[in-house]
Structure 1
Amino acid sequence: TQNQAFAALLFFFRYALKKEVGQIGPSLKADRKKRLPVVLTQNEVMRVMSFMSGLPLLMARLIYGSGMRLQECIRLRVKDLDFERSTIVIRFGKGEKDRQTLFPERLKDDLRRHLEQIRNVFEEDAANPHLSGVYLPNALSRKYPGAGREWSWQWVFPSMKLSVDPRTGKVRRHHVHPSNLQQRFRTAVKKSGIEKPASVHSLRHCFATHLL
């Protein structure tokens, strides 16, 4: 970007040429254009979702009903869903901060059925001695070395394929890739005939707007 190139030039003058460039006014930096978020109406959201099914639909409904980000959704663990208190804990969100958000009542039954299905996958993985447990941040993996094999720490939306963890070289089950939902959402928007450049992130803005 222009600002990155500008910073590189400053570094070159100050540290390579040993020359101070003096006071720099804000007019020399590129202005960041602010864009209004894309917001769909409630009817438009329903139209888009009518062209979705299965896991992508469940994830899209959860994002729309809770206002979480896509990355926050795919990183959910079983322990983060509180069915009794109707809350979802978002861990390591924007700014590495934890927070709570709404757990839509209408999604509880669907998520219970989904958890029953992935529990079978978890039990098969647990019986395989060649597989490592799910990934945990370093501090947690040291404090709770066996937690990666516990049900409560499993991904809510695990990948159906095993993969090699590039950080450790161990074979484990990661969460789904964000592109799975992104591609299906774009296809659904196109099929719905809606002309707005909506993305999965638009559902987060729809959540906030439709609550008003």
Structure 2
Amino acid sequence: MAIAGKNAGEVDTSISFPDWSEALAAAGFEPERECSLRLAVKAFLKYCREQRAAASVAVIRGYFASLPPERVNVARTALEWFYRVGRTRPQGQSYAASPPAARDDLGIQPWERELIRAIRRKGFLWRTESTYRQWASKFAGFLKPRTPYHADDGDVSEFLSHLAVTQRASPATQRQALNALVFLLQEGLRRQVGDLDFRRARARRRIPTVLTRGECQALFKELTGTNRLMAELMYGAGLRLMELLRLRIHHLDFERRQLKVHAGKGDKDRITLLPDSLCPALEAHLERLRGLYRTDRTEERAGVWLPEGLARKFPRAGEDWEWQWVFPSRELSLDPSSGLQRRHHVLDGTFQNAIRAAARAAGIDKRVTPHVLRHSFATHLLENGTDIRTVQDLLGHESLETTQIYTHVMIKPGLGVRSPLDAG
């Protein structure tokens, strides 16, 4: 097996294969086989982004270890092809599997370096840097053979319209691209951007997936340990996934039974519920974490990541107990902004995989993601008679209209209207 037989030097060598999709299309596989391999490669590249790692033999091996047994064979075939063909290609940049945005990663193209410097001057989060770089790379590909240095307002408008019309992007995706490209031109390349005239993406109204109370309990029973505690807290407090993962010790107020969500969506703080029934388990969980915390301090490891402004003002605060993650990773990882080895929170992909596996084991015939727990929180509160504006505040919705979507999935919506078939 090619990947298994590599020597130590080759194991850590990254594989740059930006045109893998085109190469796969030209490889002559049967359509069904090509589709299967394409999905497997995309899943691996997503794993690379979650792990903040460039594609390499070592990362491929780690990916195999993370997969359920039934997915390994297809993944192995796809990545054997990816490795075999990719290492023979001319080296190039790939935004699909770009290297981690570490301190010494300053980009390849001059325009990209300008963008990265501007992002880091602003102290943006690593996720924001990664997202902006991806959109800038896609825009550069759209402009070829020209570069972003020669782009004007019309090019930006054309690209944004392309997202809406050809790629059927959502309004949120289009706004994200708009923010990234305006930042690239104005902050990175020091160019003024005027009024942009582009086709707006259409908002597609989607009814959220909601679990019944029984399905929630069945899901929780298939989870154990920290994963179960995380799922129950996400449902019991109505948290978004990243709000859950970014919880710090001082965000939990056991006396008031409140949970503070700091810098949630839209960079807004809010207060939500801390369920009574979870407090004993949470307190026991934190007590267990003290052992991990003491080990980190004894071994003089770098403190946890802090927002840029706070880290400048209180550089040692990341070593304090109250700033530790409620759900830390058991392994240390490289902080892409500083290059330091430190303890990060649990990765989102790890928790998402646990939820999906639990839903399958529970026999739930719905597409279950962690965010479904937040949808279920809102719907069950409304079914219990909670005022919709209270639910809006707990969820952190800016508009009441966003919260009203849950009234469409309540049991017996419309004050008990029954089907005429049931009415007799």
Is the pair's TM-score, using the shorter chain for normalization, greater than 0.5? yes
Task: Name the structure 1 match of 2:213.
Answer: 42
2:283 to 106, 112, 127: 112
Task: Name the structure 2 match of 1:160.
Answer: 330
Q: Which amino acid aligns with 1:187?
A: A
Q: Which amino acid aligns with 2:376?
A: C
Task: Name the structure 2 match of 1:12.
Answer: 155
Structure whose residues are more often helix by fraction = 2
Is 1:68–2:236 an aligned residue pair? no
Is 1:170–2:313 an aligned residue pair? no
Task: Name the structure 1 match of 2:132.
Answer: none
Query: Deviation of residue 163 (structure 1)?
Result: 1.0
Task: Name the structure 2 match of 1:18.
Answer: none
Query: Deviation of residue 199 (structure 1)?
Result: 1.2
2:313 to 143, 148, 154: 143
Cα deviation code 1:149-179 (max 9, x no counterpart): 0000000000000111111011110111011
In 1, Cα distance between the equivalents of 2:265 and 2:342?
Answer: 26
1:87 to 240, 243, 258: 258
1:98 to 247, 269, 293: 269
Q: Which amino acid aligns with 1:159?
A: S
Structure whose residues are more often strand by fraction = 1
1:210 to 376, 380, 383: 380
TM-score (norm 1): 0.86
Q: CA 1:132 to 1:195, structure 2 compared with 1: closer, same or farther past 3 Å?
A: same
In 2, Cα distance between the equivalents of 1:30 and 1:74?
Answer: 30
* SS in structure 2 of the partner of residue 101 of structure 1: strand
In 1, Cα distance between the equivalents of 2:255 and 2:223?
Answer: 28
What is the 5 A alignment of 1:46-57? 46-57=217-228
- Aligned pairs, number: 197
Query: Deviation of residue 125 (structure 1)?
Result: 0.3
Gaps of 5+ in 1: 16-23
Higher relative contact order (CA 8 A, sep 6+): 1
TM-score (norm 2): 0.44
1:184 to 328, 349, 354: 354
In 2, Cα distance between the equivalents of 1:87 and 1:188?
Answer: 28
Q: CA 1:52 to 1:14, structure 2 compared with 1: closer, same or farther past 3 Å?
A: closer
Asked if the contact 1:60/1:200 (under 8 Å) is kept, the reply is yes
Query: Deviation of residue 135 (structure 1)?
Result: 0.5
Runs of 4+ in structure 1 off by over 4 angstroms are none
* SS in structure 2 of the partner of residue 120 of structure 1: helix
Query: Deviation of residue 193 (structure 1)?
Result: 1.6
Q: Which amino acid aligns with 2:240?
A: R
Q: Which amino acid aligns with 1:53?
A: T
Query: Deviation of residue 197 (structure 1)?
Result: 1.2
Task: Name the structure 1 match of 2:163.
Answer: none
Query: Deviation of residue 103 (structure 1)?
Result: 0.3
* SS in structure 2 of the partner of residue 96 of structure 1: coil
Query: Deviation of residue 30 (structure 1)?
Result: 4.6
Query: Deviation of residue 109 (structure 1)?
Result: 0.5
Query: Deviation of residue 100 (structure 1)?
Result: 0.7
Identity across the alignment (%): 44
Query: Deviation of residue 112 (structure 1)?
Result: 0.6
Asked if the contact 1:56/1:180 (under 8 Å) is kept, the reply is no
Q: Which amino acid aligns with 1:154?
A: Q
Q: CA 1:143 to 1:10, structure 2 compared with 1: closer, same or farther past 3 Å?
A: closer
Query: Deviation of residue 31 (structure 1)?
Result: 2.4
In 2, Cα distance between the equivalents of 1:13 and 1:139?
Answer: 32
User: Which has more radius of gyration?
Assistant: 2
Task: Name the structure 1 match of 2:369.
Answer: 199
Q: Which amino acid aligns with 1:144?
A: F
